[in-house]
Amino acid sequence: MMLVGLDARDLAMTRFAVSPLWEAVASVRIIKRPHQFPEHLAWHRRVRPRLAEVDWQLFTDLVQMPTPAIPTFICPPPTTSQPTLDIELATLVATPPEAVRASLDTLPGPRSSALAALYADPPTHLAGLAEVIRAYTDAVIAPYWPRMRTLLEREVLLGAQRMATDGVHGLLNQLDPFVRLEAGTLKVEHVVVAGSVRLDGRGLLLVPSVFIGRRVWSNFGSPGQPVLRFPARAVATLWERDPAPSGRGLARVLGRTRAALLHELAVPTSTVELAERCGLTPGTVSQHLGALREAGLVGAHRVGRFVLYARTTAAEALVAAGGAAAT
């Protein structure tokens, strides 16, 4: 168990943040041992084939399974409440060489050739590591990031509301079953990590996570604000699909395929994911999405290498009207 001494300054400096880089790091554990994370099996089945075209060996070497430690330099504390992946990777690339080596020293066993090269010359290899993480994230995180971010932002909002009504003490005691605050000491139950530390006015950064698993993760001793990462609730709902609409009215107007695509676009989704869900080729999906965009029913925005599509307000009204008619 970690015993973390908090004073009034720490409580005043407590804040929330979301971290896309941490989600990428934590997701590697799921790729390696999917059956230890049954709530994410649907995600794993969808994304595992996409990694065949990604050279992510250095990244997987850094996140080992089982995971007694994760090198702290690959998941630095977010400096803002909602950093982009590029901002967090810039922080990673700027890590001092001695900090990289100290983090790598926490990993057990012999180093792979890729880790040995990183240890020998961090400045040369950190930029390459950032590109590896970006390619990995584009393949397996970016298509789902809008819905993940929505869930994480909801967790932050709920935490802020709890803090407003119950104070920081109430927030921390309801944050996670493995965390409790007693008489100025935050008790964090870890499986293998134990010790005591005082934050000395640095405050506490609370980071909800989709891919963290069932246990909290913390980093109280490294440079930057101390971090406590905790599981967000209802993460399994990210991979659930709403039941197909029972009415046929919308299909009669738009055609069955376009009606099905609108149904799937309840959250922003990529062409690749739409093709997988609907049993179509990406080319066919793109053709139908083009028609829906021209009609003002679908909008698009870019996240990494992916263009994500979502229903417009007009489409929402159309889908709602079709559902009401079906009842």
CA 80, 81, 86, 91 torsion-angle sign? positive
- Per-residue model confidence (pLDDT) at position 247: 55
- Per-residue model confidence (pLDDT) at position 119: 97
113-120 vs 122-140: helix axis angle to the nearest 10?
A: 130
Give percent of the chain above pLDDT 90.
Answer: 58
- Alpha-carbon distance of 2 to 210, in angstroms, equals 23
- Up-side HSE of residue 103: CA atoms within 13 Å toward CB? 24
Q: Which two tokens stand for residue 245?
A: 């609409």
User: Domain 241-326 carries which CATH code?
Assistant: 1.10.10.10
Question: For the segment 278-314, what is each residue's pLDDT rounded down to a tens digit?
Answer: 888 989 999 999 999 999 999 887 765 667 788 888 8
Question: For the segment 94-104, what is each residue's pLDDT rounded down to a tens digit?
Answer: 999 999 999 99
Opening angle at CA 131, ends 90 and 32, nearest 5: 110
**Domain ranges in the chain?**
2-236, 241-326
Of the listed ranges 92-101, 135-144, 240-249, the one predicted with least confidence: 240-249
Question: For the segment 36-45, what is each residue's pLDDT rounded down to a tens digit?
Answer: 999 999 999 9
Residue for token digits 């007694």? Answer: 68
Mean pLDDT of 262-278: 81
Whether the predicted pLDDT of 187 surpasses 80:
yes
Residue for token digits 């407590």? Answer: 14
Question: Do 261 and 292 meet the contact criterion of CB atoms below 8 Å apart?
Answer: yes
38: Cβ contacts below 8 Å, ≥ 6 apart:
none
Strand order in the sheet with 185-188: 179-182, 185-188, 2-5, 195-198
- Per-residue model confidence (pLDDT) at position 327: 44
Q: Is 94 left (phi over 0), alpha (psi -120 to 50) or beta?
A: alpha
| DSSP H helical ranges for the chain | 8-12, 20-32, 41-47, 57-62, 85-93, 97-104, 113-120, 122-140, 145-173, 249-254, 256-264, 271-278, 282-294, 313-326
- Alpha-carbon distance of 289 to 271, in angstroms, equals 9
Question: For the segment 217-231, what is each residue's pLDDT rounded down to a tens digit?
Answer: 999 877 789 999 999
Confidence grade of residue 325 (pLDDT, cut at 50, 70, 90): low
Confidence grade of residue 27 (pLDDT, cut at 50, 70, 90): very high
